[in-house]
Amino acid sequence: MYDVAIVGAGVIGSAIARELSKFRVNACVIERETDVCEGTSKANSAIVHAGFDAKPGTLKAKLNVEGNALMEKLSQDLDFPLKKNGSLVVCTKDQDATLLDKLLEQSKLNGVPGCRIVEREELMQMEPNLADDVVKALYAPTGAIVCPFHLTIALAENAADNGVEFKMQTSVESIERVMDHYLIHTDDGDIETKAIVNAAGVYADKLNNMVSSRKLEIIPRRGQYMLLDKAAGEHVSHTIFQLPSKMGKGVLVTPTVHGNLLVGPTAEDIDNKEGVNTTMAGLDSLAPTSSLSVKDVPYRQVITSFAGLRAHEKDGDFVLGEAEDAPNFFNAAGIESPGLSSAPAIGIMIAKEVAEKLGLEENPNFNGKRKGIVNPATLSIEERNALIKENPAYGQIICRCESISEGEILDSIHRTLGARTLDGVKRRTRAGMGRCQAGFCSPKVMEILEREIPMSMFDVRKSGEDSKIVVGYNKKI
Ligand SMILES: Cc1cc2nc3c(=O)[nH]c(=O)nc-3n(C[C@H](O)[C@H](O)[C@H](O)COP(=O)(O)OP(=O)(O)OC[C@H]3O[C@@H](n4cnc5c(N)ncnc54)[C@H](O)[C@@H]3O)c2cc1C
């Protein structure tokens, strides 16, 4: 019997798993997909919000500010990319500038350090491509950008290295309370556990409602994006927000931590929890909306589009902690934005609550450090030569757009919770994330997966079960 079973290997389940591994615990993570970071954690704006946006006194406000403060040390310990680029909420001449003052006031109430109002003259020095109508902005120096894949994967890898078991391709179908523990019925057999942590993203209401009479309702709120080539990556250097509305933080324009430019998201309530498709109307709305804050975005440089689903709980705040009428069932539900930013703090909060309830002792062997995949592009020419001499696979370039070598791909496959799909390799190494969007490197990565796992070429998938790539020999079909 497990002490704790966490449902969901997104950033929240992975953060909780890592924090729990600081205790002596027999824990597992149950994930229906092939890999970690397959849900909302892979499709968002990747901003570590400063924390001025959430209503004072809410869990969102508290955990966002705490998570932001924890992120830098975490990025050093777990070796994932983070850049403190600062953020600006801009106000145009036709908008109500007192809303910026309110945000500034809110930043103070939430405990966000260093926010201030910046007037146009200074703003133009900070961001020359702001729209002509922008008159002032709220500047938050602690705003940052992160790689959401690397953050999630690093948390999960480190949890696994500290003893948490990951059960992939296992979907929770129902939950039964049996005496003093739970029986989780999955499509791959039953799992017995003393406690459950519900980190199932947009499905967290479904999980909660299996055991609790306090019903949750999560509305999937879709956000669509366009990602631009690295050639456009310096169009802005800060994250540029518009004044927020009741549907969220509005359309932003931001550099990504890897040097691309990201524009989005839309905000549309939908009734399909799998509705991560983009729409022409959604994508078409981005250029006119973004032009209110940033001018001349080079939309000819768009290399891909994508959508993610915010897990919007109808009452608006994060739902965290033990369900009142379901002992040892802990929710991490309704984790919409700023969920990524808050993940380190949510991990600590839930793990502490679970550990206290189960009476867990500290794990003296916990090792909180993890080394990421070596990126030869960040090395000096001497270091790179030495690396290639030691392992020639680092001299073999597979993805030409992003200069990703075979050595990096091999590492992504053979490390803890290693990649098993094209997307798994892509998220760990960036092979396929460049201008050609995997057009050239996919067949080579597939051959490497076939050889290294080893697996049949017919079983190599893009991501999930239904994403086979090779279906037969061309002369036979
Ligand atoms: C458009 C958009 C923009 C955003 N921008 C930001 C931002 O800039 N900054 C920020 O801080 N936050 C942002 N967020 C929010 C952030 O992305 C989320 O809060 C966070 O990723 C939620 O993580 P999660 O682990 O709860 O959910 P997920 O990543 O969705 O993970 C849940 C996991 O549970 C699994 N699962 C579900 N049901 C079952 C089952 N029955 N059995 C087994 N497994 C199951 C799923 O497969 C999934 O992997 C944004 C979100 C969206 C949609």
* CA–CA dist 428, 414 (Å, integer): 12
- The one-letter code for the residue type at 235 is H
SS3 355: helix
Ligand 1 nearest atom to the CA of residue 173, by list position: 41
> Is 219 close to ligand 1, i.e. is its CB under 6 Å away?
no
Ligand 1 nearest atom to the CA of residue 64, by list position: 11
Determine the pLDDT at residue 247: 67
* CA–CA dist 300, 73 (Å, integer): 37
Domains of the chain: 2-41+149-217+315-358 (3.50.50.60), 84-146+219-312 (3.30.9.10), 376-471 (1.10.10)
> Is 405 close to ligand 1, i.e. is its CB under 6 Å away?
no
> Is 64 close to ligand 1, i.e. is its CB under 6 Å away?
no
**Shortest-distance Cα residue to atom 27 of ligand 1:** 201
Is there a contact between 256 and 233 (Cβ–Cβ < 8 Å)? yes
Residue 342 CB contacts under 8 Å (≥ 6 apart), including other chains: 60, 63, 64, 66, 67, 318, 335
Q: Calculate how far, in angstroms, residue 471's C-alpha sits from the geometric centre of ligand 1.
A: 31
Which residue from 41, 142, 197 has its CB within 8 A of the most atoms of ligand 1, so it is best to mutate? Answer: 41
Determine the pLDDT at residue 138: 98
Ligand 1 nearest atom to the CA of residue 67, by list position: 11
CA dihedral defined by 44, 47, 50, 52, rounded to 10 degrees? -40
Determine the pLDDT at residue 22: 98
* CA–CA dist 295, 441 (Å, integer): 34
Is there a contact between 91 and 375 (Cβ–Cβ < 8 Å)? no
Residue whose entry in the numeric block shows the structure tokens 């793990």? 351
Residue whose entry in the numeric block shows the structure tokens 């979907």? 171
Residue 313 CB contacts under 8 Å (≥ 6 apart), including other chains: 205, 216, 217, 218, 219, 319, 333, 334, 336
Residue 245 CB contacts under 8 Å (≥ 6 apart), including other chains: none
Is there a contact between 320 and 59 (Cβ–Cβ < 8 Å)? yes
Task: Examine the residue annotation and report whether 181 is marked as an active-site residue of this protein.
Answer: no
What's phi and psi for 467, nearest 5 deg?
A: -120, 40
Determine the pLDDT at residue 284: 97
Q: Calculate how far, in angstroms, residue 137's C-alpha sits from the geometric centre of ligand 1.
A: 29
> Is 200 close to ligand 1, i.e. is its CB under 6 Å away?
yes
Q: Which residues of the chain have pLDDT under 50?
A: none
Determine the pLDDT at residue 250: 85
* CA–CA dist 58, 166 (Å, integer): 32
Q: Calculate how far, in angstroms, residue 13's C-alpha sits from the geometric centre of ligand 1.
A: 9
Q: Calculate how far, in angstroms, residue 236's C-alpha sits from the geometric centre of ligand 1.
A: 27
Determine the pLDDT at residue 465: 84
**Shortest-distance Cα residue to atom 26 of ligand 1:** 201
The pTM score is: 0.98
Rg of the chain (C-alpha set): 22
Determine the pLDDT at residue 404: 97
Which residue from 49, 262, 340 has its CB within 8 A of the most atoms of ligand 1, so it is best to mutate? Answer: 340
